[in-house]
């Protein structure tokens, strides 16, 4: 299998003012390292409000100007520079945003879907294609002439997916596609994502919903306080926790209501108070002095990657 | 390597963050305004503004940097005194306007009838041309210094009252106010502890930005002859008098006082905008 | 025994489109009761009506068959987004003390550290904030807690921690808890019984 996208040591931070003269630095993503292969769904799992969306914005090159970005990204072994990002954005790599709030409320859906095209014949060609794709997703012809506020929740999601598909992308980044949807729509979204994979598109699914991640993805990358702490095959989440290596990943598995709802003491701090050393030390029962001093590197064990000095291997 | 230079005045400003720069601008601008205002109390008009007919209508020179008028008085001293009066009028008028705005803003949050009433009063005052209203109030209050203050003070509260009304409305619908009510806190407690601290920054900025308007309006009606009495050294009076001499080529009589007035107004604007940046960091995060 | 009763509750944001229609509901303070509903089914609206956040509804909310008096409301709401029910300019200590001043032992049970008291809401993580908002609601005068999707935004590990402290406390002090969620697996795990909002809501 070929590597499509490689993100190496990505960090994203912001310097912000918050009270009077005080300035603070917020490291939202500290060390994010992931690979995306052809024809796979990779879920990036992290708790809400953690700025996971910034990963998507970082790959697409649409971060705000006050963001400090470090690390390298490659698309098919070619370095993903700002120029390349701009070239690929919306064509080869496209985004399914969180909600219709990302659409312009004063513009008809079909014109937003095709984007701004000056050439009249090219425009008609695109519109035709847009109609085809909308049809494939069971969207009525009239939907194209609607405005965003007229869409129901389920329709909106389909519009966003079909819009992302319009330029035959190789990679789709789906940013939290499920929250706020009813059960039926969640199930439909899951089917749609798997369907995308079958069509030969690779998907990065950014989510905090572990159920959706398990049902759709091939691999899961677990994000904790801005660090990727484990990348594991999804099947390791399905039956038991034996092949999960990081203490947090194990705790996460055991904490699911269907797996025993087991209590782990400690708490997850805020991004302003990321501890020195291992990010998970506040909750970890295996920690030693070494963990408090230096962040463990991401190491390969079997098919997994894990960031821990004492991975739990059965 | 720049870090070591941080305490190396005056270059530290170059490396300081935006917040420190903002504060610096506010302090410098305020010092200028305060010193102009205070100089009013230290300059004795009777000695500093002696009529000297050997020195009439002199163009600006090192001795009289703003020149002299037709009675040989130093225009710089007159301008400074005039600006001092302007700032004084602005300050008094702003206090009056702020009090009215706060009262009406709070009244609007009582119930919908009071809110309708406040909205109509704001619209009513907003719809009458300012100058006209100021002149009317000023004359009906007997004119002079207090007439002008009342005239300007009673007309400049509309923008602040409008902002406060909207802001209080917004805060009142937030979930944490609703929760406070469910925790059994009284209306007065909520106003004092939650709402007031959240609108105080709006009030401060509103007051500072009211100054330039008040000063300009005072100068305008004094210029038109409806404001301060002719023996006060107000900028409006100076400009009105200068009109008669402009044709003789004494351009400096109007030019420098007018420019100074503009300068003062811009300083207040600058302070207002920078204080706003400082108090509302979330809207200015770069 | 304390009972919380809602009689003939109806509510709509406009008259054509009723969100809640003639809901009748009873629970007592010995129960951990689950209320299941999909997003958009009106559960948040129902929670706000029970706790006095919305007062323009039809029907009655009764505590021990009496309507709720002014002053401290013994039915307290915990919200999905804790940061929305905290004044951003207050520090955490003041935010907690707006309700009451819990002992060191209780703070420990909820995993709250004293040093957080001087911080502002924007300086704590979602899990830390939610601990504060729960403890604030657990004033000694509180009889019922309405917990509206309180762990939806948190990871599974934090979810267990939060429910563990809240439910232990509620059992100990006889506080009734209505757990409102779209997550049926969670409801099955932590509640004594679960009812469906769609069954109550006569559409």
Beta strands A227-233; A219-224: pairing state: antiparallel
Q: Please state, in angstroms and rounded to a whole number, the distance separating the CA atoms of residues A268 and A301.
A: 26
Nearest CA in chain A to B23: A21
Question: Cβ distance B85 to B228 under 8 Å?
Answer: yes
Q: Which residues in A have their CB inside 8 Å of a CB on C? A: 18-19, 46-49, 153, 179-183, 208, 210, 248, 251-252, 255-258, 261-273, 283
Q: Is the pLDDT of residue B226 over 70?
A: yes
Chain C: partners with 3+ C-beta pairs within 8 Å: A, B
Contact C153/A181, CB-based, under 8 Å?
no
CB atoms within 10 A of CB C109: 16
Q: Which two tokens stand for residue C52?
A: 């006095």
Instruction: Output the pLDDT for position B1.
Output: 35
CB pairs under 8 A between A and C: 87
Tell me if chain A has a CB within 8 Å of the CB of C203. no
Band (pLDDT 50/70/90 cuts) for residue B2 is very low
Is B7's pLDDT higher than 60? no
Asked if A64 is an interface residue toward chain B (Cβ–Cβ < 8 A), one would say no
pLDDT at position B3: 40
pTM (two decimals) = 0.82
pLDDT score at A20: 59
Q: Is the pLDDT at C203 greater than 70, yes or no?
A: no
Which residues on C lie below 8 Å from A257 (Cβ)? 183, 185-186, 188-190
C156 in contact with A, Cβ within 8 Å: yes
Q: What is the rounded distance in angstroms from the CA atom of residue A186 to the CA atom of residue C85? A: 29
pLDDT of residue C150: 93
- Average the pLDDT over B125-130 and give the result: 86
Strand order in the sheet with C193-196: C75-78, C144-148, C176-181, C32-36, C193-196
Residue C77 at interface with chain B, using a CB cutoff of 8 Å: yes
For chain A, how long is the longest CA-to-CA vector? 67
Distance from CA of C48 to the nearest CA of B (A): 10
Task: Give phi and psi for C85, each to the nearest 5.
Answer: -105, 35
Find out whether A177 and A193 touch, Cβ atoms under 8 Å: yes
Half-sphere exposure at residue C113, Cβ-oriented, CA atoms within 13 angstroms: 12
pLDDT of residue A238: 86
Chain A residue closest to B201 (CA)? A20
Domain segments of chain C: what residues?
3-83+143-200
Mutant choice from B171, B174, B176 vs C, greatest count of C C-beta within 10 A: B176
Q: Does residue C125 surpass a pLDDT of 90?
A: no
- Confidence class for position B181, pLDDT limits 50, 70, 90: very high
Write down the pLDDT at residue B4.
43
Lowest mean pLDDT among A199-203, B36-40, B54-58, B248-252: B54-58
What is the mean predicted confidence (pLDDT) over B38-63? 75
pLDDT given at position B69:
75
CB-CB neighbours of A61 under 10 Å:
19
Spatial neighbors of B62 by CB under 8 A, at least 6 apart, are: none
Residue A273 exposed, middle or buried by CB count within 10 Å (0-12, 13-18, 19+)? middle
Which residues in chain B are contacts of C52 at CB distance < 8 A?
Answer: 178, 181-182
Helix (H, G, I), strand (E, B) or coil at C62: strand
Find the mean pLDDT for residues C30-41. 87
Is residue B65 pLDDT above 80, yes or no? Answer: no
In a domain, A314, yes or no: no
Is any Cβ of chain A less than 8 angstroms from the Cβ of B283? no
Show the 3-state SS of chain A: CCEEEEEEEEEEEEEEEEECCEEEEEEEEEEEEEEEECCCEEEEECCCCCCCHHHHHHHHCCCCCCEEEEEEEEECCEECCHHHHHHHECCCEEEECCCHHHCCCCCCHHHHHHCCCCCHHHHHHHHHHHHHHHHHCCCCHHHHHCCHHHCCHHHHHHHHHHHHHCCCCCEEEEECCCCCCCHHHHHHHHHHHHHHHHCCCEEEEEECCHHHHHHHCCEEEEEECCEEEEEEEHHHHCCCCCCCCCHHHHHHHHHCHHHCCCCCCCCCCCHHHCCCCCCCCCCCCCCCHHHHHCCCCCEEECCEEECCCCCCCC
Higher pLDDT, A181 or B115: B115
Residue-level pLDDT at B251: 83
Mean pLDDT across chain A:
87
> Predicted confidence band at C37 (pLDDT cuts at 50, 70, 90)?
confident
Model pLDDT, residue B6: 43
Please report the residues numbered 13 through 42 in chain A whose beta carbons come closer than 8 angstroms to any beta carbon of chain B. Answer: 16-21, 23
Average pLDDT score, chain B = 83
Chosen for mutation from C81, C119, C156 (greatest number of chain A CBs closer than 10 Å) is: C156
Domain annotation covers residue A283: no
- pLDDT for the residue A65: 82
If you average pLDDT over residues A245-251, what whole number do you get?
Answer: 92
* Residue A18 lies in domain: 3-217
Cα separation, B83 vs B87, in Å, equals 6
Residue B72: pLDDT over 80: no
Q: Do residue B17 and residue A23 have CB atoms under 8 angstroms apart?
A: yes
- In chain A, residues with a C-beta closer than 8 Å to the C-beta of C157 are 248, 251-252, 255, 264, 268, 283
CB–CB contacts below 8 A, B to C: 38
Q: Which two tokens stand for residue B222?
A: 């004094």
pLDDT at A105 over 70: yes
The pLDDT value recorded for residue B44 is 73
**Domain of A191: which CATH number?**
3.40.50.300
Q: What average pLDDT does the segment A196-201 reach? A: 89
**CA–CA distance, C67 with C64 (Å, rounded to integer):** 8
Residues of C with Cβ-Cβ distance to B184 under 8 angstroms: 70-73
| pLDDT for C132 | 95
Name the domain count of chain A: 1
Distance, CA of C193 to CA of C201 (rounded, Å): 18
Beta bridge partners of C25: C6
Interface-testing mutation among A45, A186, A268, A279, with chain C (most C C-beta atoms within 10 A) = A268
pLDDT of residue B283: 55
Contacts of A16 in chain B (CB under 8 A): 281, 285
Tokens standing for B224? 């038109």
Model confidence at B55: pLDDT above 60: yes
Nearest to B86 by CA among B214, B207, B204: B214
What integer is the mean pLDDT of C130-158? Answer: 93
pLDDT in tens, C65-85: 999 888 999 999 998 889 889
Judge residue C127's burial from the number of C-beta atoms within 10 Å of its C-beta, 0-12 exposed, 13-18 middle, 19 or more buried. buried
CATH number of C3-83+143-200: 3.40.50.300
Q: Give contacts of C99 with chain B, Cβ < 8 Å.
A: 183
pLDDT at B61: 78
Q: Which residue has the higher pLDDT, A314 or A183?
A: A183
Burial of A142 (0-12, 13-18, 19+ CB in 10 A): exposed
Phi, psi at A255, each rounded to 5°: -85, -10
Q: Tell me, what's the pLDDT at B14?
A: 63
Task: Say what percent of chain C tops pLDDT 70.
Answer: 100
ipTM of this predicted structure: 0.89
pLDDT band at C134 (very low <50, low <70, confident <90, very high): very high
Using one digit for the tens of pLDDT, what is the confidence trace for B229-254? 777 778 888 888 888 887 887 788 88
Task: Name all chains with 3 or more CB-CB pairs below 8 Å to chain A.
Answer: B, C
At residue B285 the predicted structure's pLDDT band, cuts being 50, 70 and 90, is: very low
The residue in chain C having the minimum alpha-carbon distance to the alpha carbon of residue B196 is C89
Query: What's the CATH architecture for B89-258?
Result: Orthogonal Bundle (1.10)
Per-domain residue ranges of chain B: 89-258
Residue of C195, C198, C202, C203 whose CA lies nearest to C26: C195
| Chain A positions in Cβ-Cβ contact with residue C156 (cut-off 8 Å) | 210, 252, 255-256
Say if the Cβ atoms of B183 and C98 lie within 8 Å.
Answer: yes
Q: Are C174 and C168 in contact (CB under 8 A)?
A: no
**Percentage of chain A lying above the pLDDT 70 cut:** 96
Label residue A201 by pLDDT band (50, 70, 90).
very high
Q: What is the pLDDT of residue A21?
A: 60
75-104 in chain B: CB under 8 A from chain A: none
Cα distances from A193 to residues A163, A175, A203, C135, in angstroms, run: 14, 12, 8, 40
Q: What is the dihedral of CA B199, B200, B203, B207, to 10 degrees?
A: -170
**Can you tell me the mean pLDDT for A48-52?**
70
Instruction: Tell me the C-alpha distance between B111 and A177, whole Å.
Output: 42
Residue C61 has pLDDT above 90, yes or no: yes
* Closest CB to A66 among B19, B278, B285: B285
Helix axes B158-172, B196-224, angle to 10 degrees: 170
pLDDT band for position A174 (cuts 50, 70, 90):
very high
pLDDT over 80 at A24, yes or no: no
Contacts of C14 (CB under 8 A, 6+ apart): none
Query: Chain A closest CA to C164's CA: distance in Å?
Result: 8
Mean pLDDT, range B210-226, rounded to an integer: 88
What tens digit of pLDDT does each residue of A107-128 get? 888 888 888 788 888 888 888 8
- Helix, strand, coil: what percent of chain B each, to 5? 75, 0, 25
- pLDDT interval class at A218 (50, 70, 90): very high
Selection from A250-264, B73-87, C127-141 with the highest mean pLDDT: C127-141
Residue partners of C84: CB distance under 8 A and separation at least 6 = B174, B175, B176
| Tokens 């305060």 sit on residue | B34
Note whether C73 contacts B184, CB cutoff 8 Å.
Answer: yes
């Amino acid at each position: 299998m070929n590597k499509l996208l490689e993100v190496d040591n990505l960090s994203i931070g912001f310097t912000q003012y918050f009270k009077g003269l005080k300035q603070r630095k917020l490291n939202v993503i500290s060390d994010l390292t992931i690979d995306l292969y052809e024809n796979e769904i990779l879920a990036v799992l992290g708790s809400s409000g953690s700025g996971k969306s910034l990963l998507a914005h970082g790959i697409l090159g649409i971060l705000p100007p006050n963001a400090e970005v470090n690390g390298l990204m490659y698309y098919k072994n070619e370095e993903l520079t700002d120029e390349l990002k701009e070239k690929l954005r919306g064509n080869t790599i496209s985004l399914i945003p969180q909600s219709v709030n990302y659409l312009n409320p004063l513009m008809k859906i079909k014109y937003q879907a095709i984007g701004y095209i000056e050439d009249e014949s090219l425009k008609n060609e695109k519109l035709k294609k847009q109609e085809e794709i909308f049809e494939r997703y069971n969207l009525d012809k009239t939907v194209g002439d609607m405005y965003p506020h007229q869409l129901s929740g389920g329709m909106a999601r389909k519009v966003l997916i079909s819009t992302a598909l319009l330029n035959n992308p190789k990679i789709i980044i789906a940013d939290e596609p499920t929250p706020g949807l009813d059960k039926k729509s969640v199930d439909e979204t899951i089917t749609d994502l798997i369907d995308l994979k079958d069509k030969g598109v690779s998907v990065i699914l950014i989510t905090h919903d572990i159920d959706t991640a398990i049902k759709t993805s091939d691999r899961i990358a677990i994000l904790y306080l801005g660090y990727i702490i484990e990348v594991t095959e999804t099947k390791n989440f399905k039956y038991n926790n034996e092949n999960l290596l990081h203490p947090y990943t194990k705790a996460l598995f055991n904490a699911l209501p269907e797996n025993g709802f087991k209590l782990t003491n400690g708490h997850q701090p805020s991004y302003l108070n990321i501890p020195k050393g291992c990010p998970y030390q506040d909750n970890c029962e295996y920690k030693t002095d070494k963990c408090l001093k230096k962040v463990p590197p991401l190491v390969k064990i079997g098919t997994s990657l894990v960031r821990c000095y004492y991975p739990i291997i059965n | 390597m720049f870090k070591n230079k941080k305490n190396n005045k005056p270059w530290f400003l170059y490396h300081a963050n935006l917040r420190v720069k903002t504060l610096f601008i506010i302090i410098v601008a305020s010092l200028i305004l305060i010193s102009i205002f205070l100089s009013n109390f230290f300059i004795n008009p009777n000695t500093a503004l002696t009529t000297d007919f050997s020195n009439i209508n002199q163009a600006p020179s090192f001795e009289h940097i703003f020149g002299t008028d037709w009675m040989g008085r130093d225009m710089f001293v007159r301008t400074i005194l005039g600006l001092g009066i302007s700032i004084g009028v602005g300050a008094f008028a702003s206090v009056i306007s702020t009090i009215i705005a706060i009262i009406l803003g709070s009244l609007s949050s009582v119930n919908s009838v009071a809110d309708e009433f406040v909205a109509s009063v704001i619209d009513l005052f907003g719809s009458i041309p300012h100058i006209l209203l100021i002149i009317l109030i000023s004359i009906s209050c007997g004119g002079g210094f207090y007439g002008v203050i009342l005239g300007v003070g009673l007309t400049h509260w509309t923008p602040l009252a409008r902002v406060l009304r909207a802001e209080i409305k917004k805060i009142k619908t937030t979930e944490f106010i609703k929760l406070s009510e469910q925790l059994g806190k009284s209306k007065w407690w909520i106003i004092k502890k939650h709402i007031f601290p959240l609108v105080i920054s709006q009030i401060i900025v509103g007051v500072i930005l009211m100054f330039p308007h008040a000063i300009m309006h005072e100068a305008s009606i004094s210029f038109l002859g409806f404001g301060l009495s002719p023996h006060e050294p107000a900028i409006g009076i100076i400009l009105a008098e200068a009109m008669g001499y402009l044709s003789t080529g004494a351009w400096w009589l109007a030019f420098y006082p007018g420019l100074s007035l503009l300068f003062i107004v811009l300083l207040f604007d600058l302070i207002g905008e920078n204080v706003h940046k400082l108090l509302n960091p979330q809207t200015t995060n770069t | 025994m304390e009972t919380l009763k809602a009689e003939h509750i109806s509510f709509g944001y406009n008259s054509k489109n009723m969100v809640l229609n003639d809901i009748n509901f009873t629970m007592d303070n010995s129960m951990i009761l689950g209320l299941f509903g999909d997003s958009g089914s009106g559960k948040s609206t129902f929670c706000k009506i029970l706790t006095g956040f919305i007062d323009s509804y039809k029907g009655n909310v009764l505590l021990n068959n009496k309507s709720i008096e002014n002053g401290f409301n013994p039915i307290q709401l915990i919200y999905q987004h804790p940061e929305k029910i905290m004044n951003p300019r207050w520090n955490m200590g003041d935010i907690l003390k707006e309700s009451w001043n819990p002992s060191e032992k209780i703070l420990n049970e909820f995993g709250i550290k004293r040093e957080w008291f001087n911080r502002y809401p924007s300086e704590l993580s979602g899990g830390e904030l939610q601990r504060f908002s729960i403890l604030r609601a657990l004033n000694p005068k509180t009889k019922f807690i309405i917990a509206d999707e309180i762990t939806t935004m948190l990871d599974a590990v934090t979810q267990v921690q939060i429910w563990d402290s809240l439910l232990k406390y509620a059992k100990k002090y006889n506080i009734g808890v209505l757990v409102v969620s779209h997550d049926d697996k969670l409801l099955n795990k932590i509640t004594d019984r679960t009812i469906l909002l769609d069954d109550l809501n006569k559409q």
